[in-house]
Amino acid sequence: MTGNLDTPADVRHEAQTRHVWAAIEKFLGWLDAHGYASYDPYDLWGTPFGVRGRRLYYKKPVVGLPFVAPIILTEVIAPQLRQSFVRKERYATADGQIILAFLKCHSSTGQTSFLAKAERLAAEMLEYRVSGYSGHCWGYPFDWECCHRFYPKNTPFITSTPYAFEAFIRLHDVTGRTDHLETAKSIAQFVFNDLNDLATGPQSSAASYSTVEKSKVINASAYRAFVLTEAAHYAPSGEFEELAAKNVRFILESQREDGAWLYALDNPAEAFIDHFHTCFVLKNLFKLNLRRQDPAIADAIIRGYRYYRNNLFGDDGLPKSFAIQPRTQIVRLEMYNFAEAITLGCLLRNDIPEAFALARRLADMVCGELQLPDGHFVTRVYVGGWRHTFPYLRWPQAQLFLALTNILAALPRPASDEDSVSA
C-alpha cells in the first residue's frame, strides 16, 4: 500500500494514511463490541492445573510434558475452550496502551470523544490497581509459574506498570489535569521504592522484574530507567535520576559486542535473544534519551538496532521471534513482534529512516492481510499457515492498535479525512 517508488511521496503517504485509518475504524468497532475485559494467552497457565503442570515440567520435563501438553494443544487448536475454565479480566498493559492510542487518535483528529474514552479508561484502571505498596502499581490477575519462581496473582510488575505511568503522564500533557500528574508521580514512587536493586558494578545496578525477587532482566531495567527519567522531568528528583543512571549503565554494560542483549543474565534458561523484548529495550532507551541526550545511549541504540535488523527478521523480511530459532518452532508470525517493530520504527524514524520504512511495510501487511472482518487482528500464524484468531487484548490487540496510531502520527493526514474517523 506504500506504493511504487515512482509514485510521488505525498501520494504514497496519503494512500497509506487512508489505509491505516480504515483499519483503525474497523478495530474501534470491534473494541466497542468486545469491551476492555479479555482472555489472555497465560490465563490457563494460571489455573491450579496449569501452575502445577508447569512447575513439574520445569523440574522434570519428561514427566511434566503430559500435564502441559493439553494447555499447549488447546492454545494452538481451540483457544476458545478457555471460556469454560477462566473468565475475562482487565490488564493494565492493554488498557495503558489503548489510552495512548486514543490520545494519538485525539491528536490526529481533534475529536474530543477519543479523549473522553481515554479519561474513562484511566479511571477504570485506578479501580483495579494493586494496593499495599508505596505507590500505584499493577500486575497480572492470574498466578504465574515461570522457570525460576512462582508469582501470585496481582504481584506488581515493572513490565505492566510503566504503561499506566505513560498513560497518565500523557493524559496530563493533553489535559493539564494535576490529578493525572499526581497519579503518575505515585506510580514513580512505586517504581523507585518497591522494586529491588542488584548491584552489577561500582555505578550500575539491575532492577528487579517484580517486588519479590532480585534479577537481571534487561528489559525490566529499561522500563524502570524510562519511568524514573520521565518522572524526574516533571518533578525534579536527584534520587530518581541517580537510580535511572545506574540502571542505564547496567543496560549498556550488558550489551554484547555485536549489539545484542540477552533477555536476562545469570540464568541459562533466560539467555536468549528475542524480538519483542529487544524492542522493549530499544524503545525505552530511545524515550529516556530524549531527556538525557547521552551519546553513549544513542550509540547503543544504533548498534542494538543493527543487530536487531540483521538477526530478528527472516529472509522474507518479516519479524521472527528468536535470533537463534528453537529446534522446535511452530509459530511463523507472532503479531506482538509486528506491533513492537512498527512502534520502534516510528520512534526511530528521524535517526534511522530504514526503521520507519520497515514499520510502514509491516503496517501495510497488518492492515491488508492480518485484520479480520470483524475488526480485530490475527494473534499469530503457525507454520503451515494455520491462523490463531482468538483475540487477546494484552497480546497483541492493544499493541497493534497503538502501533497503527503511531504510524498515523508520523504520516501527514489527508485534509478530506478530518471527520471520517468515528470515535
What is the CA 22 to chain-centroid distance, rounded? 23
Domains defined along the chain, listed by start: 26-38+91-417 (1.50.10.10), 44-85 (no CATH)
Residue 390 pLDDT: 98
User: Per-residue pLDDT tens for 393-423?
Assistant: 999 999 999 999 999 999 866 554 444 333 3
Cell numbers describing residue 357: 520504512
Place 13 in a pLDDT band, splitting at 50, 70 and 90: confident
pTM of the model: 0.94
Contacts of 159 (CB under 8 A, 6+ apart): 93, 209, 219, 220, 223, 280
Predicted local confidence at residue 421, as pLDDT: 36
Q: Check residues 2 and 70 and name the one with the higher pLDDT.
A: 70
Which residues touch 152 (CB under 8 Å, ≥6 apart)? 143
Task: Give residue 49's Cα distance to chain centre.
Answer: 28
pLDDT digits (tens, 9 = 90+) for 330-368: 999 999 999 999 999 999 999 999 999 999 999 999 999
Q: With 70 as the cut, is the pLDDT of residue 2 above it?
A: no
CA dist 22 and 36 (Å) reads: 21
pLDDT of 416? 46
